[in-house]
Amino acid sequence: MMINLLHLELLFNHHKRVNDCVHSATGEYKQWFVMVKDSQNRFDDNPIWGEGWGWALFKPDNLEQNQAENHKTDCLACHVPAKNTDWIYTDAYPALNQ
């Protein structure tokens, strides 16, 4: 059995303009997105699983609790633009486009 796991970290970015130059710095973690590929749709009765994936969102203040409760209401709306790439945003990750 092969398991595909996609993990993305979202960090706060800080931008500051000094003498017509923009300085950027990455700050603390905002949240983590985790997707686990399930091409066999083995968990149809679980609302976190669907569209061929298990979906999860974790926040820094509660790393043990998945903040997403239903992939249809908590995840898909943001992933609609990535539907043609199996719900994954691949633009910033060239290796995923190969």
The DSSP bridge partners found for residue 32 are 9, 58
- Burial class of residue 54 in the structure, from the number of CB atoms within 10 Å of its CB (0-12 exposed, 13-18 middle, 19+ buried): buried
- Per the model's pLDDT, the better-predicted residue between 22 and 92 turns out to be 92
Residue 31: predicted pLDDT? 81
Structural domain boundaries enclosing 14: 5-97
Query: What pLDDT band is residue 90 in, cutting at 50, 70 and 90?
Result: confident
What is the CATH number for 85? 3.50.70.20
Confidence of residue 28 (pLDDT cuts 50, 70, 90): confident
List pLDDT tens digits, range 52-73: 999 998 888 898 999 999 999 9
92 phi-psi bin (left φ>0, alpha ψ -120 to 50, beta other)? alpha
Number of domains forming the structure of the chain: 1
